[in-house]
Structure formats: C-alpha cells, structure tokens
C-alpha cells in the first residue's frame, strides 16, 4: 500500500509537469467558465485522454473540471463503511492515490453523492411505486423514472455488484439495490437542477455507471464516454454505447469505390490470417487466437453420429447483457435455461463452449468462474447437453461439421458465418444486425420457431458482407482513431493488463508531444462539428487509404 502511494505521488508529479507545459499555449480569451464533470475512477487507460478532451472543450474558455464518484452500486455498495468514508476524506484532503492523479490533470474538486432528507423521501416514494409494478424479471426492464428508461442499467448493475447470474426480484438484496439506484437518480436530478453543467465525461454507459450519464443526456447536457480509445457522444436516440453498428452500411457507402476495394482486399487478408490462427492485430489487445494453426484430430469434441449438432457459444456472465441494448432475454442464465427447455423438444445434439479469456486480470474482472458455474449447472441438469472445453479451436469444431451456432451477439456471429454455418442471434441489438449473414429473430416466439425448424431454414450467406462488416467494425471504427498510437503500446512488450498501470501514463506522456496533441485536438474537433455519435476514421485528417496501409502485410 505504501509503495502504491509513493508510485502514485511520483506519477502525479510527472503528470502535473506534463499538463502545465500543455497549458502554456492554451490562452483563455473568454471569461465564461465551463463546468465539466469528469468521472473519478481508477481506469488509468483513460485519465490523460479525458483530461485532453476536457481541455479541448474549454479551448477558449476558463473551465472548472469537477470529478464525480460514479462507482456506487456498480462495483461497490452505496453505503460505504465508516473506514471507507474516512479514507475518502483523508485522500481527498491530502491528494493521495488517485486524488493526486486527478489534481494533476486539472480536477479542482471531487464530489460524492450524498442524500438529504428530501432526496431520501423522494427515493422512498418512487421505490414503492416502481417495486409495486415489478411482476417478473422481464418487467425490471420496463422501469422508467421521469419517462427515462433505466431498467437495463438496474438489471445489469445488480448482477455485477452482487457477482451473480441470477436476479431474484423478491430478495432483500434486489430491493436494497433498487432503492440505492433510485437514490442516486434523485441526487443527480437535484444536482443538475441546482448547478450549471456544460459537459459530462464518463467511461461506461452500462450498469449503474450509466444512471448519471443517461439522466444528463435527457437534461440536454453534452455527454461523452471514453473507453479503450473509443469516444461516443450519447444522445436521446442512442443512449447506449457501442451502437455505431447501426451505421455500418450507411457509412460504407460514403467511401469512394477505389478505397472500398482496397479495404475489402486488405480485410480478406486479415481474416485469412485470423482463421489460420495468427494473432489478431485489429483489436486493442492481442489475444490467443480461437483458431489454431495445428489441430489435434486424435480426439474429437463432437460425437460421431448423424444428429443435427448445435453449438451454444456462451458469454461472460459478468458482462453487461444489455451493452448494445436489451436482448430477447433478461440475462444470460435465462437464455441458457430457455435453450435447455427447447432442447427437450428436439432431436438435436447440443454443445456448449464457454467464451475464452484473455489474461488473469481480465478473467477475474469478467467472472470466468461464474460463467463456468452456470454452464456446469445447465449441463448437469440436461443430459443431451455436452461441454466443449473453452480453449478448443473453433476451426476444429468447424472441421468436425457443426451444423448451427447460437449466440446473443458474440464474435462467432460473423466467424462461423464466414464458413457458411448458420448462426442465430438472440438479440436485435447486436453488431451484425445491419447485415443478412445471420438469422435474427424479432421476438422470443420467433426465436423459438426458428430453433424448432433449424433443419429447414434457408440462409444465403454472402462472404463479402462479412468482410465489409469486419472492416467497418474493427478498422473503420477502430480503437486508434483518437490517438493513432493507442494500440502501439502493446508493441513495447506490454500486455492488455498494462493499460491500467503507470506504464501507460508514461507511454502517453512520451508519445503525446505538442504536435501530436494538436492532431488529436483536430480529430476531436472534426468529430464535434460532425455531430456524429461515434468518433471514427472519417474524423481523422489522415486519408483512409493511409490508415489502411497500417494493416498491410
């Protein structure tokens, strides 16, 4: 703990010098003061970027950058212990740990939700009203406050805070959680009504993190989220993060034909390498490929019979199921339970393969143990279900002739389709919805009907559509368009987990010189002027052909 405090003190000193140098050229010509709320958190991967965005937003204005605590009811209880409260007060006063970091990047004060007698009264009244209308897990998604939808955030947030894949609407834990979220809502409603706020910069738009952000959107405050190099500007129509997939086809048509051809050719090569087991180069993090160069055929994972075989590709149960918007199912466990019931009506052979994990910290953060726990439970209670080890290469499963794949919105949706294998998604809010290479069901009853008639479903899969989809998702909308060196951090013998260490601070301070920051500001300015929802390659001053050259072999 002492070492961490010393390390944070030293890095804060570096950051202070870094931003002091930047501010030399930022002469404020307007006496108007902007109030910018920035999320106070421990995500080192975003601190410098968030500070740059805030400074740019206030380029010709004086600004007041205020940090706000936003992790209550997401990763920790709303009612902290006395020890935690004292620790917060001392840290805030002495500027230790992340308080020092935020001071260094220009944050003037940190605010933490507190609940007055009036807020408590309003929360109690609203809780009685809302809880009285909840009749099932699905009805949690119908929760609104002041005509703003919050049900998805409440459901996902409860599962995350309680580290579970089950939500019992009758439990005291859920009642307590729901009351806490409602209290937070009324705190921020009161804050926005009594304080001038021009911008809010957050990280996650999911779980209870999203309560304040969504409310701000509907209060007509500009809201930006920054996560892993990607910037979204939330609005009343798109108050979920990561819904740029709705514009894939439209944005592709805006590219000139010569560049389109180049994009498709390069993407085909990328996909070819991916499916040969090469390390993926178009993600933020390099990952062990779910495809293998060498397949061990000595032991089969699929039974040697003529039955119609289905693969269920599970999701990390601690992830937000509603990250793109609500699916056909309340949570991951409800989806698997639904499939288990369907399996009893069919003569199919059902296989389950858990989502592979990337690294130790990622495993722990994403609940790998809970995913396995749920899968084991489903298989134990359904004799026609078989487990496929999560590290089994996908090309081995493909070679053994799997007939169909089920996912809500996972990457297998395009991967297996690429090999002409039908994939059914369990959500209309999924990245592939713009295209026809998957089977999408509008309702749960249609999904069931499709499952019961899998052998007769006809699907024409066009590989060029899959190639276009991959290009739009992972290149046109990559992690590197705000700062083109974001992914290069991994080339210095760093791993994904290092993004949340001082190594990334040092990397950015070394590579974000005044010239590069001017380029970054220009990109963000283009994004602002466009009024677009997501920052992508169209906002870069670099020609798309040059961007494509980064992916040449």
- For residue 162, give the 3-state DSSP assignment: coil
- What integer is the mean pLDDT of 362-389? 81
User: Is residue 252 over pLDDT 90?
Assistant: yes
Where along the chain do the CATH 3.40.50.2000 domains lie? 257-476
Specify the pLDDT at position 361.
45
Question: Residue 353 is inside which H or E element, if any?
Answer: strand 349-353
DSSP class of residue 551? Answer: T
pTM of this structure: 0.92
Nearest C-alpha neighbor of 18 from the set 63, 58, 55: 55
The Cα–Cα gap between 102 and 537 comes to: 30
| Residues comprising the chain, all counted | 553
Whether 137 and 169 have beta carbons less than 8 Å apart is answered as yes
What rounded mean pLDDT belongs to the chain? 88
User: To the nearest whole percent, how much of the chain has pLDDT over 70?
Assistant: 88
Specify the pLDDT at position 524.
95
Return the structure tokens found at 154: 């409440």
Return the structure tokens found at 508: 């950015």
User: Is residue 509 over pLDDT 50?
Assistant: yes
Predicted confidence (pLDDT) per residue in 181-229, tens digit: 999 999 999 999 999 999 999 999 999 999 999 999 999 999 999 998 8
Specify the pLDDT at position 95.
60
Q: Which residue has the tokens 């690429």?
A: 418
- What integer is the mean pLDDT of 283-307? 79
What's the 3-state SS for 258-291? HHHHHHHHHHHHHHHHHHCCCCCCCCCCCCCCCC
User: Is residue 263 over pLDDT 90?
Assistant: yes
Work out the angle at residue 280's Cα, subtended by the Cα atoms of residues 526 and 499, and round it to the nearest 5 degrees.
65
Given pLDDT bands bounded at 50, 70 and 90, which one contains residue 363?
A: very low
User: Is residue 90 over pLDDT 60?
Assistant: no
User: Is residue 285 over pLDDT 80?
Assistant: no
In sequence order, what DSSP letters do the residues of 175-230 get, joined into one string? HHHHHHHHHHHHHHHHHHHHS---EEEES-SSTTHHHHHHHHHHTT-EEEEEETTE
Specify the pLDDT at position 28.
58
- What integer is the mean pLDDT of 496-522? 91
> Cα separations (Å) of 95 from 82, 92, 109, 254, 297?
19, 5, 10, 49, 59
Specify the pLDDT at position 20.
81
- What integer is the mean pLDDT of 116-128? 96
Given pLDDT bands bounded at 50, 70 and 90, which one contains residue 362?
A: very low
CB-CB neighbours of 83 under 10 Å: 8
Q: For domain 257-476, which CATH number applies: 3.30.70.580, 3.40.50.1110, 3.30.70.20, 3.40.50.2000?
A: 3.40.50.2000
The Cα–Cα gap between 120 and 15 comes to: 39
- What integer is the mean pLDDT of 234-255? 95
Q: Which residues of 395-431 are buried (b: 16+ CB within 10 A; e: fewer)?
A: bbbbebebbbbbbbbbbbbbbbbbbebbbbbbbbbbb
Q: Considering only CA atoms, give the Rg of the chain.
A: 24
Greater pLDDT, 162 or 2: 162
DSSP class of residue 76? Answer: B
Predicted confidence (pLDDT) per residue in 434-487, tens digit: 999 999 999 999 999 999 999 998 899 999 999 999 999 999 999 999 998 888
Nearest C-alpha neighbor of 54 from the set 76, 22, 81: 22
- For residue 34, give the 3-state DSSP assignment: strand
Predicted confidence (pLDDT) per residue in 36-55, tens digit: 999 998 899 999 999 999 88
Specify the pLDDT at position 260.
96
Q: How many helices (H) and strands (E) does the chain have?
A: 21, 14
């Amino acid at each position: 703990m002492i070492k961490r405090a010393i390390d944070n003190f030293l890095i804060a000193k570096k950051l202070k010098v870094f931003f002091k140098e930047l501010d030399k050229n930022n002469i404020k010509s307007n006496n108007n003061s902007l109030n910018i709320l920035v999320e106070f958190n421990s995500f080192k991967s975003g601190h410098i970027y968030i500070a740059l965005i805030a400074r740019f937003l206030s380029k010709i204005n004086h600004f007041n950058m205020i940090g706000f605590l936003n992790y209550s009811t997401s990763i920790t209880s709303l009612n902290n212990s006395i020890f935690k409260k004292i620790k917060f007060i001392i840290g805030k006063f002495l500027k230790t740990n992340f308080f020092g970091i935020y001071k260094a990047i220009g944050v003037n004060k940190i605010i933490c939700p507190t609940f007055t007698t009036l807020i408590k009264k309003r929360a109690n009244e609203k809780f009685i009203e809302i809880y009285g209308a909840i009749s099932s897990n699905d009805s949690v998604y119908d929760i609104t406050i002041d005509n703003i939808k919050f049900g998805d955030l409440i459901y996902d947030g409860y599962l995350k805070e309680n580290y579970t894949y089950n939500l019992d609407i009758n439990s005291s834990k859920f009642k307590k959680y729901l009351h806490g979220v409602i209290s937070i809502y009324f705190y921020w409603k009161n804050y926005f009504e009594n304080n001038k706020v021009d911008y809010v910069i957050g990280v996650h738009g999911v779980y209870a993190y999203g309560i304040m952000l969504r409310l701000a959107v509907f209060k007509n405050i500009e809201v930006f989220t920054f996560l892993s190099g990607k910037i979204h500007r939330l609005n009343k129509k798109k108050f979920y993060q990561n819904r740029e997939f709705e514009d894939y086809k439209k944005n592709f048509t805006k590219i000139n034909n010569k560049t389109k051809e180049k994009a498709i050719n390069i993407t085909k090569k990328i996909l070819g390498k991916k499916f040969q087991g090469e390390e993926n180069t178009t993600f933020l993090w390099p990952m062990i490929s779910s495809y293998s160069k060498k397949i061990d055929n000595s032991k089969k994972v699929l039974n040697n019979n003529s039955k119609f075989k289905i693969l269920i590709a599970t999701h990390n149960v601690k992830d937000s199921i509603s990250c793109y918007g609500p699916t056909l199912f309340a949570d991951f466990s409800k989806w698997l339970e639904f499939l288990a019931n369907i399996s009893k009506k069919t003569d199919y052979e059902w296989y389950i393969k858990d989502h592979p994990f990337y690294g130790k910290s990622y495993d722990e953060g994403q609940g790998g143990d809970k995913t396995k726990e749920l899968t084991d439970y489903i298989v134990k209670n359904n004799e026609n279900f078989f487990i496929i080890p999560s590290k089994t290469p996908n090309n081995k499963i493909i070679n053994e002739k799997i007939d169909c794949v089920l996912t809500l919105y996972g990457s297998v949706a395009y991967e297996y389709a690429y090999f002409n294998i039908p994939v059914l998604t369990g959500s209309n809010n999924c990245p592939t919805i713009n295209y026809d290479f998957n089977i999408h069901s509008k309702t749960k009853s249609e999904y069931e009907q499709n499952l019961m008639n899998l052998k007769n479903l006809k699907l024409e899969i066009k590989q060029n559509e899959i190639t276009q989809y991959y290009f739009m998702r992972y290149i046109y909308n990559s992690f590197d368009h705000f700062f083109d060196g974001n992914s290069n951090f991994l080339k210095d013998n760093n791993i994904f987990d290092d993004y949340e260490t001082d190594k990334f601070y040092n990397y950015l301070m070394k590579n974000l010189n005044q010239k590069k920051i001017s380029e970054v500001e220009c990109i963000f300015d283009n994004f602002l002027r466009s009024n677009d929802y997501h920052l992508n390659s169209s906002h870069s001053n670099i020609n798309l052909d040059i961007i494509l050259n980064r992916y040449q072999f």
